[in-house]
Amino acid sequence: MISDWYLSNVGTQYEVAPMPWLYQKYIGHDNNRDGYMLNMVESRVLSRVWQEWDPQIIHVHHQSSPFPTRIWLPPFAEPIATFAPPLMSRTVNSLGMTMATMLESRGLRGATHMGTGFDAWYPGYVDYLPLLQNQAAFWTETGLYRYATPHFYTLADFPADKRDLRAESLYPSPWEGGWWRIGDAVEYMHVASIAVLDYAAKYREDVLYNRYQSGRDQILKYQAEPPYAYFISQDQRDPVAPVELLRRLAYAGLRVHQLSDPVTHEGLTHPAGTWVLALDQEFGELARQVMSVQTYPDLREYPEGPPEQPYDAAGWTLPYQMDVRVVTATQPLGDDVRAAMQPLTTEATPWDADVSDASPFDRVGGVGFDSNPVAAAIVPKPGATMGSGSTLFLDPAQNNTFRALNDAWDAGASVAVAGGRYAVENISDSERDRMVRDYALQAALGGSVGTPLPRARLGMYRPWSPSMDEGWTRWLYEQYGFAFTNLRDADVRAGELRSRYDVIVLPSERPNGLMNGFANGSVPGQYVGGLGAEGVRSLAGFVREGGTLVCMSSSADLCIDELNLPVENVVRGLGRGVFFSAGSLLEVRTDVSHPLMAGMPERAKIFFDRSPVFTTKEGFEGAVLAAYEADGSPLLSGYLLGEDHLQGQAAAVDVKHGDGHVVLLGFRPQWRGQPSGTFRTLFNASLFHSEVARSAVGADGFWAPPADTDEDEGN
């Protein structure tokens, strides 16, 4: 795909133009960050093949190195994953120095290590997660101009602090500039690869034994110290959520047990059917790395200076993201508990089987996780309906409710909203029973009631400047059966949106990118520009005429500015030394009486990623949907500097604008397909139209603006 794009432009003014679509159908370079969630089929293929083939060393080549260095090699920058097995980290560090030494011996200058860019804190990289499976896994970054086009560099191109070509401890042979061609990059990568093979050949027995010892050490560690295990009940707000979590861990090679009888441990009784994830196994650190709370270290660029930004996420605790209650065992498991723990396994589905959906209750299609015998054995409790009547009531706390709603609309049924639940009518008994069975729904039957909800005519804005957030949203919509249309810039500018759509969703992208897109002359003409003033006017008219515009995270600033909403992003413009939080989990209060928060817990966990924080201004009409507590820190996992800028402020707002609504979500509800505990906020918003939207009100007294603060602080 990339080579085709490049070759189509070679010799033209667009030879080095960026590609106007993602190089992976949905998620672009996030395909490298799906290591533990395994949402994409490519991630599952890598995971399965690497476990079956069982390489001892995994080396993945990336581009590009920090300029003007020519290749970046391990050791990684600080910090690294808290529970990375030490023997594996030492092996990776040795490999990095081995590669650098061979590059120097071949006269290839410019190798560097560590720095402040490529840390290994986040375990989700597909080329780093295997380190938690006791494989020496790492990546390298080789310098590249753009595609295969040569480029000549002079010292004037270098950053000022690199122009003196001073030798440094981890950059002892500075590159002096000159021509750089794709052949040069290939030579560096080739020599680095030969160095890895040379190391593996020379130290074969050490590499093999160290892997064994690393696994053995983890078994011994978690036989002697906590946490000893995680107990995960079948009884959850969304009964499929723990299954989604555990299937992924099992697919990554962890063994999972299920209690055959009730047991009591540390004063708590766990019923039969409870899953147990014991940590005294060779991949125990992998389980702990994704299940525990992250505390990102307070690293500063200089004393009292701004914090060093994480290369990726700072906090990802899966039970928090997926809204799964987990009990951590801090005392050794007794013989009675061990006796009740039955190992889970069943016949696996062949990985190449021709099936549309081996397990309809989880959110990946095809064979999915069922090619792993342990993952295939992890299933939710059967779906069930309580009561009697012709109307099926579905709880939005269960994400599969939305799959059922979309199936129901496909089947010609009617849907209503009633008392915080969705009601499905005019559907056959057989189709109703199939949905409850396939999606493991805990549902109820009753009489006809509620506000009618026609199927939304849903549009998802898809800019030519590729958006991974749009791609993740598109993927999630497809997994849950939403009918939607992608809108390009020309579609938006064409106007008359209200005649075609009820709800339009904007991905989380910065205002400048959404407004302006690719600059004139940077790409072929058909891909130039963004929404522009004409597109914004069209969106404003859409809302005034009764449509719903959903603005996820970063796009909220565009909507506030261009639609002149009586809302302010109170952290906009604050310096990193005053307020900073990237990729972290925070706690908010939610107004569960509002249709947009239906199914949410009263205290919810959100994924905050340089997101906006709201307060309302004079003339505001609508409702605050979620808010931070007025005191204390909302941080649950990750990193937060400047908690006072969040205290008492709003995290999500429904703004009435003309006859329509603008929904501002100050968090990433579907970030990389991980925070399933907030998927329903996006899904509810995607269905928020017609009489349901017109009649929506929030709870009296849920929120009031906090006292004014110094607006100039930190600007």
Q: How confident is the model at residue 688 (pLDDT cuts 50, 70, 90)?
A: very high
- Phi and psi for 408 in degrees, rounded to 5? -65, -45
CA distance 424 to 354: 32
Q: For 263-295, how does the pLDDT look when each residue is reduced to its tens digit (9 = 90+)?
A: 999 999 999 999 999 999 999 999 999 999 999
Q: Give the per-residue pLDDT at 405.
A: 98
Rounded to 5°, angle at Cα 162 from 157 and 163: 60
What's the gap between Cα 662 and its chain centre?
A: 24
What one-letter code names the amino acid at 94? S
Q: For position 713, what pLDDT does the model report?
A: 44
Distances (CA, A) of 208 to 59, 193, 252: 16, 19, 20
> Strand runs (DSSP E) across 45-164, as ranges?
57-62, 71-73, 77-80, 111-113, 119-120, 136-142, 151-153
Query: pLDDT for 408-426, tens place per residue?
Result: 999 999 999 999 999 999 9
Backbone angles phi, psi at 202, to 5 degrees: -70, -35
Whole-number Å distance between alpha carbons of 331 and 429: 49
Of the candidates 217, 198, 218, the one whose C-alpha atom is nearest the C-alpha of residue 207 is 198
- Confidence at residue 714, expressed as pLDDT on a 0 to 100 scale: 42
Query: Is 469 within 8 Å of 476 (Cβ atoms)?
Result: no
Q: Which of 496, 645, 677, 664 is nearest to 576 (CA)?
A: 645
| Tally of CB atoms within 10 A around 21 | 16
d(CA 157, CA 152): 10
| Residue 479 phi, psi dihedral angles, 5° rounding | -65, -30
Taking the CA atoms of the chain, what radius of gyration do you get in angstroms? Answer: 26
Distances (CA, A) of 586 to 425, 572, 681: 38, 18, 16
Between the CA of residue 453 and those of 3, 442, 450, what are the distances in Å? 47, 21, 9
CA distance 548 to 506: 11
Structure tokens at 268: 């708590």
Distance CA 195, CA 205 (A): 17
Q: Give the Cα separation of 477 and 142 in Å (integer).
A: 36
Instruction: Please give the pLDDT value at position 310.
Output: 86
Contact 395, 599 (CB under 8 A): yes
- Residue 12 Ramachandran class (φ > 0 left, ψ -120 to 50 alpha, else beta): beta
Question: Can you list the domains of the chain with their CATH numbers?
Answer: 33-217 (no CATH), 225-376 (no CATH), 384-450 (3.30.70.1360), 458-694 (3.40.50.880)
pLDDT of residue 408: 98
Pick from 501, 536, 438, 520: nearest CA to 687: 501
Peptide bond into 507 cis (omega under 30): no
DSSP H helices, 363-442, are: 373-376, 400-410, 429-438
DSSP code string of 155-189: GGGS-GGGTT---BTTB-S----EEE-HHHHHHHH
Q: State mean pLDDT over 306-325.
A: 93
CA distances 385 to 219, 327, 346, 443, Å, are: 43, 28, 27, 5
Angle (nearest 5°) at CA 148 between 142 and 154: 65
Please name the residue ranges forming H helices in 480-555: 489-493, 511-516, 532-544
CB 479 within 8 A of CB 424: no
Taking only the tens place, the pLDDT of each residue in 20-30 is 999 999 999 99
CA atoms of 483 and 502, how far apart (whole Å): 12
> Looking at residue 383, what DSSP letter applies?
P
Task: Indicate the average pLDDT of the chain.
Answer: 96
Q: For 480-524, what is each residue's pLDDT tens digit? A: 999 999 999 999 999 999 999 999 999 999 999 999 999 999 999
CA gap 49, 606 in Å, rounded: 33
Q: Is-contact 59 196, C-beta < 8 A?
A: yes
Does the structure show a pLDDT above 90 at 711?
no
Q: Rounded to 5 degrees, what angle do the CA atoms 669, 675, 676 make?
A: 95
**Residue 97 — φ and ψ, nearest 5°?**
-70, -35
Beta-carbon contacts of 609 under 8 Å, excluding residues fewer than 6 positions away, are 313, 508, 553, 582, 583, 584, 667, 668, 671
pLDDT at 638: 98
Percent of the chain with pLDDT over 70: 99
The C-alpha atoms of residue 522 and residue 539 are separated, in whole angstroms, by: 26
Q: Looking at beta carbons, which pairs linking 534-539 to residues 24 or more positions away fall under 8 Å?
A: 534/493, 535/489, 535/492, 535/493, 536/562, 536/563, 538/492, 538/493, 538/494, 538/495, 538/497, 539/492, 539/497, 539/504, 539/563
pLDDT of residue 715: 37
pLDDT of residue 309: 81
The beta-strand segments (E) located in 63-214 are: 71-73, 77-80, 111-113, 119-120, 136-142, 151-153, 178-180
**pLDDT at position 712 over 50:** no
Task: Give the 3-state secondary structure percentages of the chain, helix then strand then coil, rounded to 5.
Answer: 30, 20, 45
From the list 486, 490, 465, the residue with the least C-alpha distance to 474 is: 486
**Helical segments of 261-383, H only:** 284-291, 318-321, 335-340, 373-376
User: Residue 266 — left, alpha, or beta (φ > 0 → left; ψ -120 to 50 → alpha)?
Assistant: left
Instruction: Give the pLDDT confidence of 70-83 residue by residue, as tens digits.
Output: 999 999 999 999 99
Helix and strand element counts for the chain (H, E)? 19, 33
Length of the chain equals 715
If you search the block for the tokens 């992208």, which residue do you land on? Answer: 509
Residue whose structure tokens are 């939610």: 590
Is the Cβ–Cβ distance between 366 and 355 less than 8 Å? yes
Q: Which two tokens stand for residue 94?
A: 């040795």
Q: Is there a cis peptide before residue 350, judged by omega within 30 degrees of 0? A: no
pLDDT (tens digit per residue) in 578-626: 999 989 999 999 999 999 999 999 999 999 999 999 999 999 999 999 9
59 pLDDT more than 80: yes
Q: What percent of the chain has pLDDT over 90?
A: 95
